[in-house]
């Protein structure tokens, strides 16, 4: 029998986004919408992965709520679909919110999926408070 050593994560982050980042595991040739949704999810993972190797327990979950409660753009006044995603990193201090904000700003996204918010441009926006469509926080150190 193999002995497994489970390490506790060092830092936990949470992101909220109005962009459809549903993890579908769809591949080219599968349902086109599900493929595009998964491409947005992979964009998130790869952008985080520029600096660290994130791990996560579950796929992004959808919340229906007012975006301002999650520090998302003030332009979005009515209830919207908001994707919540929690990920961990192994090394304390290897990543911070400011770095994520800088890394994600203006990263291209695929729109017209299951998001309810309408975006002027097909990018993650982190630095304009009125149209911010992704927000990060550290939830545990």
Rounded to a whole number of angstroms, the distance between the first and last alpha carbons of the chain is: 33
Please check whether residue 86 lies inside any domain of the structure: yes
The crossing angle, in degrees rounded to 10, of helices 97-104 and 32-48 is: 130
Q: Which two tokens stand for residue 50?
A: 């520029």
Contact assessment for residue 16 and residue 82, using Cβ atoms and an 8 Å cutoff: yes
pLDDT of residue 5: 46
pLDDT digits (tens, 9 = 90+) for 4-24: 445 555 899 999 999 999 999
Contact assessment for residue 54 and residue 89, using Cβ atoms and an 8 Å cutoff: yes
Please check whether residue 43 lies inside any domain of the structure: yes
Contact assessment for residue 22 and residue 114, using Cβ atoms and an 8 Å cutoff: yes
Contact assessment for residue 68 and residue 75, using Cβ atoms and an 8 Å cutoff: no
Domain count, the chain: 1
Please check whether residue 103 lies inside any domain of the structure: yes
Please check whether residue 44 lies inside any domain of the structure: yes
pTM of the model: 0.90
pLDDT digits (tens, 9 = 90+) for 59-104: 999 999 999 999 999 999 999 999 999 999 998 889 999 999 999 9
Please check whether residue 3 lies inside any domain of the structure: no
d(CA 130, CA 25): 32
Q: Which of 47, 38, 41 lies closest to 104 in space, CA to CA?
A: 47
Please check whether residue 4 lies inside any domain of the structure: no
How many helices and strands (H and E) does the chain possess? 2, 4
Please check whether residue 85 lies inside any domain of the structure: yes
Q: Which domain holds residue 115?
A: 11-140
Please check whether residue 129 lies inside any domain of the structure: yes
- CB-side neighbour CA atoms (13 Å) of 107: 22
pLDDT of residue 140: 78
């Amino acid at each position: 029998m193999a002995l497994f050593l489970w390490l506790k994560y060092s830092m936990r982050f949470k992101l909220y986004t109005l962009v459809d980042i549903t993890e579908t595991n769809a591949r080219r040739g599968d349902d086109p919408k599900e493929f595009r949704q998964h491409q947005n999810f992979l964009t998130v993972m790869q952008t985080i992965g520029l600096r660290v190797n994130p791990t996560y327990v579950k796929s992004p979950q959808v919340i229906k709520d007012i975006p301002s409660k999650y520090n998302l753009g003030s332009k979005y006044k009515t209830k919207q679909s908001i994707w919540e995603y929690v990920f961990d990193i192994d090394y304390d201090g290897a990543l911070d919110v400011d770095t994520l904000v800088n890394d994600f700003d203006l990263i291209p996204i695929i729109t017209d999926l299951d998001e309810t918010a309408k975006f002027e441009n097909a990018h993650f926006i982190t630095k304009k408070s009125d149209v911010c469509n992704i927000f990060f926080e550290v939830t545990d150190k």
